[in-house]
Amino acid sequence: MKLSSGFLISQAAALTVDTLEDLPDCVERGCDPSDLGIWNTKTYTEADGCKRGYTENGLEVENNGCFRECNQPDGTKLTSNKKIKCVCNGNSCNYVFNVRREQTSIDETKPNGLPYITPCDTETTTSPATTSSPSSTNINILVIPMYNSESFIVSGDGSRTTSATLTGSSTERAHSVIIRDELYSFKYKNISKLNGCNWQLIPPTANYFHAFNSAVLAIEDGKKGLICFPYYNYVTASYEGPQLHRACEIFDPESSLSQLQLTASTEFKHNSAGLAFYNGKPTVVGSSTAHGAQKVEFFTGDEWVSMPDHPTPVYGYSLTGLDSGAMLVFGGCTRKPVTSTSCFLSNTIWRLKDDQWTDIGQLSSTIYGYGSAINIGNFVYLVDEQDGTQENTYTTRRLSLENDLIINEEIIDTRTISMRPGNYAIATRPHIMLTSFDFCV
């Protein structure tokens, strides 16, 4: 059939109208950087990992995502512990991050009321600039000592304390770490997860026997756990062997393996030592054994590399990494000479910075009891246990930081916990974590 030119023109006009109706509107889409709040401190570029850039009107392009920075009161930058991404649904665009593979608003908080994304200690934005100092009254710390039933919460200034009710597997001689926003505990070859207010055993199992003299640290942006320095080898059924106080394994809660993944062992033995970040690398200091008494090593992800020795043979200390990359070691037990079996309790604060050890002061009392420390903005909270014959004493200290130095110490809580029948007093690192004041009360 032959079509007339008039028919063709009318069909073309109809197609044009239909096509125009299907086209999207010309409204510019993107995220408003002011919605980043404290993370709106700069224009994020490809160098930051944000490769998609901005529109002509300054909106962040859809799917632009990277780690963000906020300003600390001391002038340093704090990088977010999660990538923040711009996503759009229709003409509505918002900043989100991933939690368990789901996209969540950057304002979302955990069930305990704490933010998923590491908060900064100041609310400095690009425009206008406002600053607020961190308030220790807004900080609440959960302390889980040897027994679950003795758990307590103390506010950042010590003005309030309350008991926390936890049940389930015992935390005695265990080590804990927060991985993917969940608290896990490692005891012997078992792994437990704090589900609500109850500890529950979960698979997999560790390859080695870990207890109070092992160490654990969250790595890879909090996605996995590094647990090291076993004191018993189930394979050889003895306390001896080449991996004693040296072996390390990695826990990935999303792995389906029945046992933890083995990784590189340290060159030296590190019994009763601890792990913390130094310049972004997991780092271990000292040992109760002469073989590694002053030795310091850091983990690259593939191997352990030696660093300058600690000035004294030390173990049983507390330690924490700082936002600046420096690391602090508190107290502990020293042996002089290194082959001695005598323990000299210490209250010295050592700082590792620029690959140099410096004595930066003393605490008001000695630290020995495998304490735990956490750096929150301009404070370090230190909870240590002094073990006795019939009871253990737990002391919570608030240490004020300035330029990587301790400028003030306050004891904000002290309590004693009686030993149970059939048990004996033994130093156990308490579990500590940020929480809300009404968590499990």
Alpha-carbon gap, residue 248 to 315, rounded angstroms: 18
Which pLDDT value is given to residue 373?
A: 93
Write down the mean pLDDT value for the chain. 82
Model confidence, pTM: 0.70
Q: Pick from 63, 84, 105: which residue ends a domain? A: 105
The answer to whether 185 and 169 have CB atoms below 8 angstroms apart is yes
In a domain, 245, yes or no: yes
Residues 265, 193, single domain; the answer is: yes
**Number of domains into which the chain is organized:** 2
Residues 80, 190, single domain; the answer is: no
Residues 54, 169, single domain; the answer is: no
Residues 251, 393, single domain; the answer is: yes
Alpha-carbon gap, residue 396 to 143, rounded angstroms: 9
Which pLDDT value is given to residue 268?
A: 94
Q: Pick from 87, 105, 123: which residue ends a domain? A: 105
Residues 92, 147, single domain; the answer is: no
- Which residue would you say has higher pLDDT here, 441 or 400? 400
In a domain, 200, yes or no: yes
The answer to whether 381 and 372 have CB atoms below 8 angstroms apart is no
- Domain containing residue 247: CATH number: 2.120.10.80
In a domain, 209, yes or no: yes
Residues 152, 82, single domain; the answer is: no
pLDDT at 8 over 60: no
345-394 pLDDT, tens digit per residue, is: 889 999 999 999 999 999 998 876 668 999 988 899 999 877 655 577 88
161-191 pLDDT, tens digit per residue, is: 999 999 887 677 678 899 988 899 998 889 9
Looking at 45-59, 123-137, 313-327, 371-385, which range is the least confident one?
123-137
List of residues 6+ apart from 126 with CB closer than 8 A: 33, 40, 41, 42
In a domain, 10, yes or no: no
CA angle, residues 323, 173, 352, in degrees to nearest 5: 25
Strands 372-376 and 77-79, by their bridges, are unpaired
pLDDT at 122 over 50: no
Give the per-residue SS3 of the chain: CCCCHHHHHHHHHHHHHHHHHHCCCCCCCCECHHHHHHHCCCCCCHHHCCCCCECCCCCECCCCEECCEEECCCCCEEECCCCEEEEEECCEEEEEEEECCEEEECCCECCCCCECCCCCCCCCCCCCCCCCCCCHHHCEEEEECCCHHHCEEEECCCCCEEECCCEECCCCCCEEEEECCEEEEEEECEEEEEECCEEEEECCECCCEECCCCEEEEECCCCEEEEECCCEECCCCECCCCCCCCCEEEECCCCCCCECEEECCCCCCCCCCCEEEECCEEEEECCCCHHHCCCEEEECCCCEEEECCCCCCEECCEEEECCCCCEEEEEEEECCCCCCCCCEEEEEEEEEECCEEEEEEEEEEEECCCCEEEEECCEEEEEEEEECCCEEEEEEEEEEEECCEEEEEEEEEEEEEECCCCCCCCCCCCEEEECCCCCCC
Residues 145, 93, single domain; the answer is: no
Residues 182, 287, single domain; the answer is: yes
Residues 262, 167, single domain; the answer is: yes
**Range ranked top by mean pLDDT from 84-93, 123-132, 272-281:** 272-281
Listed residue (73, 70, 75) closest to 117, CA to CA? 70
Looking at 30-44, 121-135, 172-186, 231-245, which range is the least confident one?
121-135
In a domain, 148, yes or no: yes
Which pLDDT value is given to residue 367?
A: 77
406-417 pLDDT, tens digit per residue, is: 999 999 999 887
Residues 170, 94, single domain; the answer is: no
In a domain, 24, yes or no: no
Q: Pick from 61, 87, 105: which residue ends a domain? A: 105
Host domain of residue 68: 33-105
In a domain, 23, yes or no: no
Alpha-carbon gap, residue 324 to 403, rounded angstroms: 9
In a domain, 44, yes or no: yes
- Which residue would you say has higher pLDDT here, 57 or 78? 57
- For 56-79, letters b (16+ CB in 10 Å) and e give eeebbbbebbbbbbbbbbeeeebb
Residues 94, 144, single domain; the answer is: no
Residues 351, 424, single domain; the answer is: yes
